[in-house]
Chain A
Amino acid sequence: MLTKSIPSGTQSHLMPHDLDLLDETAWRDLVDRFGYRMWAVARAFGLNPSDAADAVQAAWLRLIESVHTIRDPDRIGAWLVTTTRHEAARIGRGRAGDPLPGLPAEIPAPDGDPVAAMLTEEDGRRLWAAVDTLREPCRSLLRLIVTVPEIRYAQLARCLDMPVGSIGPTRIRCLKRLRSLMEEDR
């Protein structure tokens, strides 16, 4: 929980107490509430545990750097998830050999990324119910991707008896079908 009112102005070294937005209990509460979601997002980008840990830690460090700019505490969770996503994508691009883009200078508004706030267990339960209605190979493919985060396309191809070149397109098609089912369910 937030323990102090949020300053409406810009930072000032003259009022350090106003900048100390969260007490330690509130911070721990944030970690407990959002840590797993942030981890899941980082891992969903295919990052190994070490890189995923860096993506999650980056988001926490960005928050401690930017905490004085927060005006709406209800957005912190969505912001953490969104920032983890940006960091995970950045690390992933770096691993792929692309130059690392710069970091966002300030806390982005989560309005442009509304799904970040919807990453709940209820969403997951609805998604799993939808997965169970998919035909093969989508059902097995998604189960493997989710439960074995670091599985490679070659391993998936062997498990599913599919050409390795078709794994990527099939993955895209299955996720698109899953999203369609979710939209129909709304």
Chain B
Amino acid sequence: MTDDEYVLAALRIAAGADPLPARVSADARAVYGLRLPGAVTASPVRPAPEAATGVRPLGGVRSDGCADDGDPRLLRFAAEGLTIDMEVTVCDSHIDLAGQVHPAPGDGARVEIRTPHVSKIRFPTETGEFATTGLPLGWLSVVCHRPDRPPVATRWQCIRR
């Protein structure tokens, strides 16, 4: 053993103290249902300065409990020549999301906004914008499905207050 945390973890396992909560185990099992065979994973990249204005949420998409003067989080993911910008607003008990796919994916494309327990489908505008409200706090991923192309899925991000 060369690491203090591993030493403590091994002691804890042997002691049987602090058992794995059933909810954590159930959530881990449920991850299997989230797999997307064939999908390309878009890794996070640093948002460009213009992203703050480029992915403003569509008018009226903010829901109750979200201050208009709040500080949304800007996230950018890229893969396969596709960039997905996300502007996440963390509210009292949920999150609102506005985003944009660059370049605009065109006809027949759809954006799937995924949490471990909720999936929402949006059809992006001509400029690739999409939005939704009322997502639960926690894990979030956006998938862009395009005809005749592999889906591009952002890495899962944990959004908490």
Contact = CB atoms under 8 A, between A and B. Distances in A.
Interface string B25-61: 1011101101101111101100000000000000000
A146 interface: yes
Interface in B119-157: 139, 149-150, 153, 155-156
A44 B5 contact: yes
Given A127-B7, A128-B11, A102 B37 contact: no
B24 A41 contact: no
A125 B12 CA distance: 10
B6 A119 contact: yes
B67 interface: no
Interface centre among B4, B11, B23 (most CB of A within 10 A): B11
Interface residues of B, number: 45
Interface stretch (B14-22, B83-91, B92-100): B14-22
Interface string A123-148: 11101100100000000001001110
Contact of A16 (B27, B28, B32, B37): B37
Contact residues on A (Cβ < 8 Å of other chain), bracket: 35 or more
Contacts of A28: 29, 32
B9 interface: yes
Given A43-B9, A45-B5, A64 B28 contact: no
A19 B31 CA distance: 16
Interface centre among B5, B34, B40 (most CB of A within 10 A): B5
A120 to B, nearest CB: 8
Contacts of A160: none
Contacts of A118: 1, 6
Contact of A103 (B40, B44, B153): B44
Contact of B21 (A16, A53, A63, A149): A53
Interface of B: 1-15, 17-21, 23-25, 27-29, 31-32, 34-35, 37-41, 43-44, 139, 149-150, 153, 155-156, 158, 160
20 contacts: A16-B38, A31-B28, A36-B19, A39-B24, A40-B10, A40-B13, A41-B9, A43-B18, A49-B21, A56-B24, A60-B28, A64-B31, A115-B2, A119-B6, A119-B13, A128-B11, A128-B15, A146-B17, A149-B12, A179-B2
Interface of A: 11-13, 15-17, 19-20, 22, 24, 27-28, 31, 35-37, 39-41, 43-45, 49, 52-54, 56-58, 60-67, 85, 88, 102-103, 105, 115-116, 118-121, 123-125, 127-128, 131, 142, 145-147, 149, 172, 175, 178-179, 182
